[in-house]
Every structure is written in structure tokens, then in C-alpha cells.
Chains A and B, each alone.
Chain A
């Protein structure tokens, strides 16, 4: 981790890390005054917030819906199928989605055009690219994410429900007053992790999905760091960018944890 000092150096190959002259905060100033870094920062915040907004509640809703299913076989089949996407790499999924969302022969555009709409080039249209990223991310993670909530649901004391039925609560009331409150601890902890990850955008996904046509809306901090670091070999600048991301992520997780702890008794430390 000592390589982090590169962020404050004007790196030169022949001098090595320690031998290179100090640059103070020049790398950070260059980042902020450049055009691409602020854009990448903005994209990261937008994409991650959308993923949090849709991706966080989705597994909870799926778990609640599955929990209402009495038909065990059906429940099991749905669950098993829903985990599947979690096990595949974004490389493979990018290949698959390029077919599914293909403007000339994909099923999604088939539905759109048969409903009277115009075919959309999801992978190349800046207006739709974020929607594509967010929806496929939710799709990949929702089943797997629901496991932890289902585990929490199955540990709820059944006598609570029996008592509620005696008191005349219908299923909606049961869910509102027993199921949801029982989920609060696990939801809280998952939420802290999710907020901590808000700046750690999903490099794997964006890197495999994006192309120059959608850089303006899709270039995120990690892909930007990769491009200036590995492709352009601007080590000092790229390290500064990476450090910036790390500090924000770490701060977010510490702050969220302490806020949540103040209002409830749950936290990750």
C-alpha cells in the first residue's frame, strides 16, 4: 500500500517510486481541473445511486414475495433460477446481453417494435446506456441478494404470526407489523455496506459494456483510472484518482455506520 505515495509524486520510470520528485497536491489539482475526472465522478455518483435506489430494495421485495409462496416446489425452482446470473462473469453476460438487446434481432427490441415503438441501440445510445447498466446489474444481483433476507425471514418466530392471526390481522397487516420489523437488523447492515460501495462502481460491468460512443455517460472513476493509468501510463495521476475514490468510500462507510448506530443499535462494528 506504500505505493499510495505515488499520488503525491511526479512519477518517472528511471527514478522509481522513491526517487521521483514530490509533486505535492499537483496530481489532485490536475484531476479536478481536467475534463474527464469530474465527468467520471458525476457518472459514478449517478450510476451508483441508481443502482442503490433500485438494486437495494429489489432483493428485499423478491424475498418477501417468495416468502408468501406456499408451494415449496415452485418456490425452490424460482429461487434456483434467480441465483444463476450471479455465477457468471460480466464478460459472458456482456456477450449475452449484446444479443438480447441487439437493435436488429434482440428480444427486447422485438417487444418494443411490436408495441409500436422504435428500436433502441441500448449499447450505443447515451440516453439509454445507464438504464441498461442499472437494470442488468439489478437483474444479476437480485436473486443472490435475496438469500440473506430469506434466511432472516425463515428465522422469524412462527408464534408471532399465530398470535397475530388470533388478533385478526390479515396477511398485509402481518407483513407490516411482524415481517418487516423483523428484517430491520439485516436490512440496516446491508444498507451500510451498500452505501460504502456507492463510490466503488462496478468496474467489471462498465468496462465490458461501454464503448467510446457512451463514454460521456458511462465512464466511471474506476474505468477512468484504468485508462489513464494502464493505457496512458500516467501513474501519479491514476494513483491520485484511486486514492480519492478509496478515501471517499471509506469515509462513507464510517459515516453511515455511525449515523445508523446513533438511531438504532445495529452497525457493522
Chain B
């Protein structure tokens, strides 16, 4: 390659500056809220970049962790994410595998019907009435069953299965393996990358879900973390209002700082695992896009 022209150098310079600013804007809000969650009310109320907490204090976290609702939410979210993801993956695979077989009668009809649901659904009220008449209101299963198979993930897994060479399965069949055996001992082990990808998709979706719990769950013992967050952050629910009755001059935390700490409590688990799992996500998007 020859020497760079002036225009190219200018562009490169601009590009680096721009992308640095962009990356900064992607993380700054998190740093900001983290810093506020460790600050005293006076420091949090001051203008500033808020990179490092001034007047460091753990009061907000003490208040948050003293609250039983947060722990209930955490517990339910963890159960939901664990059980839900396992069932999601199992049923997605069980649905995708037969649909990947060319000799399945009416295969394209089934697939089209499933794809149709990606674009068309009954809507909020019919779904709500359905859940109600199934007797799933206030049942933990309601957080898992309606979204048991995501059409999009199913299609991606199906396409992946279809890309596997058929000869391996044929030879296994000759050796006397039945379909279940083939799926679990031969197909799944070679499909681990895609399985890991959809498992992560499902897990993040479960972790972040709040609307279904808001809609279908009224028992406070069954609520999930994001719904607790919704009630604290958006509705400003009275969970933490007791702090406002304090004399403001000696007040150690305000609702705003409590909110900041609550946000961090819900976000930190994702921030911790994120650097390790993001490459699987990326891989999944690519598999989906290239074969889709």
C-alpha cells in the first residue's frame, strides 16, 4: 500500500476521535449511576461528571439490601432464569429437530405457521384472557410457559441442524440408534455453539423480563426483580418512602440514590458476565444472519 493521503489521515483521525466518544457515551451512563449510588445526597445533587463517588458511602446499598422485596425478586428471577432457560432450550431443540428433517410431512406448513406468529399475534387482551382461563394467573409457570419457544431462536436452530451432514445420522441409524438417541448423543454435541447462543438469549430475556410479571402476578412473593425495579424506579412506589420523613439535613439517603443503588443491584450481574459471554452472542447473530 502506498502512503496515506492527507484526506485519509484526516478521516482516520476523525474516525478514532468519533468512535472514542461514541464508546464513552455507551458506558458513561453506567459509571454515572454507579457513582451516584455510592454518594451522599449532597454529592449526588451537585452538578458534575460523576466519575468517582464523592463522599463515599454504602448507606444506599444498606437500605436496598435491608429490603426484603429485593431479595424476593432476586430469588424469583434466579429460579425463573435457571428453570426457564433449561426448559426453553429443551423445547426449542425438540421443536427444531423434526422440522429440520426433509422427510417430515408438511414440514413447510408447520414452519410457516410458526413464522407467522412472529408477525401476527392475538394481542394483549386475548393473550391475557387466555392466560386467565388456563388458570395461570399468579402461577410461577406463567413466566415460563407462554414464551417457552421463541420462533426466531427455533428457526435459527432448525437452520443449523439442516446444515449438518445427513450421512452421520444415517450411519448411526444403521448402527441401531433411534431418533432420540441420535438427537442427544450425536446432533446436540456438535451443535453446542448454537445451543449456547440461544441459551444465553433466553437467559438474558428472562433476567430482563418484567411486563409479564407485572401483568400476571399479583402475589408479592412471586414477583421478579425487574418488576420490583419497575415499581421502585418508575412508579416511585412507597417501598422506600420512609426515608423522606427524615430530617433532610441529616438524611443519609434519598429516593434518587436508592434508585441508583437498585439499578446497580439489578445490573451488576449482567455487567459481570457480559464480557465473557458477548462473543457467543455475536456468533449467534452471525449464524442466524448467514443462514437465515
Contacts and interface: CB of A to CB of B under 8 A. Distances in A.
B282 interface: yes
Given A3-B125, A139-B26, A92 B119 contact: no
B262 to A, nearest CB: 7
A89 interface: yes
Contacts of A235: 125, 129
Contacts of A225: 123-125
Q: Is the interface of A mostly helix, strand, loop or mixed?
A: helix
Interface in B208-263: 208-211, 215, 226, 229-230, 233-234, 256, 259-260, 262-263
A84 B274 contact: yes
Interface in A45-95: 62, 65-66, 68-69, 74, 77-78, 80-85, 87-89, 91-95
Given A107-B28, A208-B234, A78 B125 contact: no
Interface string A1-32: 11110100000000001000000000000000
Contacts of A148: 285-286, 289
B266 A92 contact: yes
B15 A69 contact: yes
Most chain A CB within 10 A, of B1, B23, B44, is at B23
Nearest to B8: A171
B289 A78 contact: no
A126 interface: no
Interface stretch (A98-106, A176-184, A212-220, A259-267): A98-106
Given A68-B12, A94-B233, A242-B124, A143 B119 contact: no
Given A3-B122, A155-B290, A235-B129, 12 more contacts: A3-B125, A3-B129, A4-B126, A84-B271, A91-B234, A92-B208, A152-B289, A171-B8, A204-B211, A238-B125, A239-B126, A249-B120
Interface of B: 1, 5, 7-8, 11-12, 15-16, 18-20, 22-23, 25-30, 32-33, 36, 44-50, 119-130, 204, 208-211, 215, 226, 229-230, 233-234, 256, 259-260, 262-263, 266-267, 270-271, 274-275, 278, 281-282, 285-286, 289-290
